Amino acid sequence: MTSTKADIKSPEGKLGVLIPGLGAVSTTFIAGVFLIRKGLTAPIGSLTQLGKIMVGKGENTKHVPIKDFVPLANLKDLEFGAWDLFQDDAYDSAINAGVLSREQLDVIKDELKSVKPWKAVFDRDYVKKLDGSWVKKAPSLWDLAQMVKEDILTFKKERNLDRMVMIWCASTEIYQETVPGVHDTLANFEKALKENNKKIAPSMIYAYAALDLGIPFMNGAPNHCLDAPALRELAEKNKVAMGGKDFKSGQTLMKTILAPGFKARMIGVNGWYSTNILGNRDGEVLDDPESFKTKEVSKLSVLDQIFQPHLYPELYKDYTHVVRINYYPPRGDNKEGWDNIDIVGWLGYPMQIKVNFLCRDSILAAPIVLDLALFTDLAQRAGMYGIQEWLSFYWKSPMHDFDKEPVHDLFVQLMKLKNTLRWLMDVPLVTYIGTESYD
């Protein structure tokens, strides 16, 4: 193992993973960690657990496991805390989600039963399709934020935690623009919390509570909570890592793999139509047009940055990009996605590509949650705060500084991630191309 950069704090001690939303993704993630710890399954899909990184050059080239190269928390040191508006513990919720088999869940039943959600901060105006009773009540939004902080601090004490990260795995909220006077500055935001301003979404309350306690916050849904300049100000003030948004798991992952290939070969695209059927609770929530709008904006954002129509008008000017999600209960978590891509070749001749992806949404998302928990904790221990652009690899709609454009190409994102790890460990960055530079 390469020597650790002096200013990265040690990962010794326990890491608490705080999760708003104990549903399909989060229970699949938690159950996976319990099963992996017992040596019963492999962490497929996780870069932190299976990925390698190339260091050195020529004869001295080595391919080192990422988890040996950078000081990451060990899976045995993870503790899980969650909030939900349904009282089901992680075992019951996982059974209900129907992603993993009962047989597999029963092996870790006691561990899953011990993850019991705290009452949620919830407002039906933000997720119209859900209604639960396991919800905090308080005179103001400010008081709700204090209650979330109490949950966190009690958990920290009870489990003897050294550090924590928060990852939003709760439902997609309705589309919420930044409102001047409410979300723009920290002072206005805190005032609005005290005045019970309904423009503050529940996700913002969790994010505020975490960032105010110096705990990094990562946003797995397309909610705009971290776009509030007030919360960015808080993260800068407390020197806390943050990032989002929307796990890049299925159809969008395929898009950011395929589109850079078309672009590289100067193949034109006239249209890209994506639709899917999905029957889990996430699908039900997204059946509400206002929650779907948040998702749609996130999903639509990826192609323009890759195709750069302003630089390549002959290939991509006015291409049509449509995204649909259809709630179809029989499929549960086993989403089926169809992409029809109308491409254009030499002399303008049209061709079509059809992608039919029979995926499992939470199986794809769970390793992303694990990697984000471990890499975010690493960033925080290394003193990296604010938006973690190097983790764009994991997001459909990567957050970035106001004056920059996000990067969507999966392979550029991976190079940035690995070079950030090299930079952290004081080894030369890889900027040349060779077969060995896949790592």
Ligand X SMILES: NC(=O)c1ccc[n+]([C@@H]2O[C@H](COP(=O)([O-])OP(=O)(O)OC[C@H]3O[C@@H](n4cnc5c(N)ncnc54)[C@H](O)[C@@H]3O)[C@@H](O)[C@H]2O)c1
Interface with ligand X (CB under 6 A): 20-25, 83-86, 97, 120-122, 127, 130, 132, 169-172, 202, 220-221, 246-247, 249-250, 280-282, 285, 361-362, 364-365
Compute the C-alpha angle 283/285/289, nearest 5°: 100
User: Do 217 and 376 contact (CB within 8 A), yes or no?
Assistant: no
Q: Which two tokens stand for residue 405?
A: 């454009």
Nearer residue to ligand X within complex by CB, 73 or 201:
201
The C-alpha atoms of residue 45 and residue 43 are separated, in whole angstroms, by 6
Q: How far is the CB of 367 from ligand X (least distance, A)?
A: 11
Bridge partners of 163, per DSSP, are: 15
Q: How far is the CB of 288 from ligand X (least distance, A)?
A: 12
Q: How far is the CB of 326 from ligand X (least distance, A)?
A: 15
Nearer residue to ligand X within complex by CB, 361 or 371:
361
Nearer residue to ligand X within complex by CB, 69 or 256:
256
Cis peptide before 62 (omega within 30 of 0): no
Residue of 341, 326, 337 whose CA lies nearest to 359: 337
User: Do 220 and 246 contact (CB within 8 A), yes or no?
Assistant: yes
Nearer residue to ligand X within complex by CB, 132 or 386:
132
Nearer residue to ligand X within complex by CB, 212 or 282:
282
- Nearest residue to ligand X by CB is 23
Q: Which two tokens stand for residue 353?
A: 């590509």
The C-alpha atoms of residue 33 and residue 366 are separated, in whole angstroms, by 10
Residue with tokens 């050059």: 57
Mutual angle of helices 24-37 and 361-381, in 10-degree steps:
70
Q: How far is the CB of 181 from ligand X (least distance, A)?
A: 24
Nearer residue to ligand X within complex by CB, 183 or 381:
183
Output the CA torsion sign for 43, 46, 49, 55: positive
Q: Which two tokens stand for residue 195?
A: 């005045």
Residue of 403, 391, 21 whose CA lies nearest to 216: 391
Q: How far is the CB of 285 from ligand X (least distance, A)?
A: 6
Strands 336-344 and 350-358 come out as: antiparallel
Q: Which two tokens stand for residue 284?
A: 């039900």
Q: How far is the CB of 154 from ligand X (least distance, A)?
A: 17
Nearer residue to ligand X within complex by CB, 45 or 271:
45
Q: How far is the CB of 427 from ligand X (least distance, A)?
A: 33
Q: How far is the CB of 117 from ligand X (least distance, A)?
A: 7
User: Do 256 and 411 contact (CB within 8 A), yes or no?
Assistant: no
Nearer residue to ligand X within complex by CB, 82 or 344:
82
